[in-house]
Amino acid sequence: MYAALAARLADDSRVAALAPDLRWDFPLRLLGGMHYLVLGGEASWDDVDAMLEEHAPFLARFAAEQPVQTNEVARSAALLRGLAAVGRRRIDLLELGTSAGLLLYLDRYGYDHDGFDIVRRRGIDLNPIDVTTDEGARLLEAFVWPDQTERIARLRAAIEIVREDPPELIAGDYVELVSELVEEDTVVMSCVTTTYLPDERYAELVEKLRGTTWLSLEGPRHAREYEGMQLVLDGRVLEEHVDYHGES
């Protein structure tokens, strides 16, 4: 349903007026803003036309300023397998592009893991989300479409777990900050974030993480037709074609 809505909006002149300089992720940002309004009871999916007309200033600002923020906790199963491959019993976990930090609790969502202990949970994000607040939880849910009921249920359950023991969230550019945060026993984790970096910034990150244990779950760079993600540890592919939402 929402893919069809995104396609419809792409041809809507009112949408073009909202964002003259379209980014490739503009449809996601716009739909996120619309869902944010619906979650707050300020608009309805039953009248998209009214939403676009009555909330145009808000939607334009949201689409221009709010980056896409997702924490798909089902990806935890693959990431846990990657952490097991690290071979440590105690793990100091640092996540790049952490959003709300939900993936830092990958060992608490009922997935099988190898008995290691995560002794520290830190995440870096340009705009970290605090899901201990109603506003933060609403914003994170806004980027999960309403017909994806299983994803929403997982998200809400994960938020409750994180609220019991919030992680250390660090606001900033992770390419700039990562070197000063990595310690001897740190495992750096990234999940669907480095794909947003331009090539020169990605190369800078790779250089800074040289010699550091780095677990990533990302699609191969510039391989737009690739189906899903690769689980990679220190440059070695552990698993090919992991489902994008971690559901298989």
- Encoded amino acid at 204, one letter: E
Looking at the fold, whether 53 and 141 belong to one and the same domain comes out as no
Q: Which residue has the tokens 């100091």?
A: 92
Dihedral angle of Cα 104, 109, 111, 112, to the nearest 10 degrees: 70
**Edge-to-edge strand list for the sheet holding 229-233:** 168-171, 117-125, 90-96, 186-191, 213-218, 229-233, 236-242
Domain CATH number, residue 144:
3.40.50
Within this chain, do residues 61 and 158 fall inside the same structural domain, yes or no?
no
Q: What is the mean pLDDT of the segment spanning 60-87?
A: 90
For residue 231, being part of any structural domain is answered with: yes
Mean of the per-residue pLDDT values for the chain? Answer: 88
Q: 69-73, 91-95, 116-120: lowest mean pLDDT where?
A: 69-73
In this predicted structure, which of 102-106, 114-118, 184-188, 196-200 has the lowest mean pLDDT? 114-118
For residues 170 and 122, the answer to whether their CB atoms sit within 8 Å is yes
| pLDDT value of residue 113 | 76
| Same domain assignment for residues 52 and 96 | no
One domain for residues 142 and 237: yes
For residue 248, being part of any structural domain is answered with no
Residue ranges making up the domain that contains 44: 2-65
- Say how many domains are in the chain: 2
β-pair partners for 189: 95, 215
With residue 119 as reference, give the H or E element that holds it.
Answer: strand 117-125
Question: 218 lies in a domain?
Answer: yes
C-alpha span between 94 and 30 (Å, rounded): 30
Look at residue 166 and tell me if it is in a domain: yes
Q: Are 98 and 125 in contact (CB under 8 A)?
A: yes
Residue 178 within a domain: yes
pTM: 0.86
**Four-CA torsion 198, 203, 206, 210, nearest 10 degrees:** -170
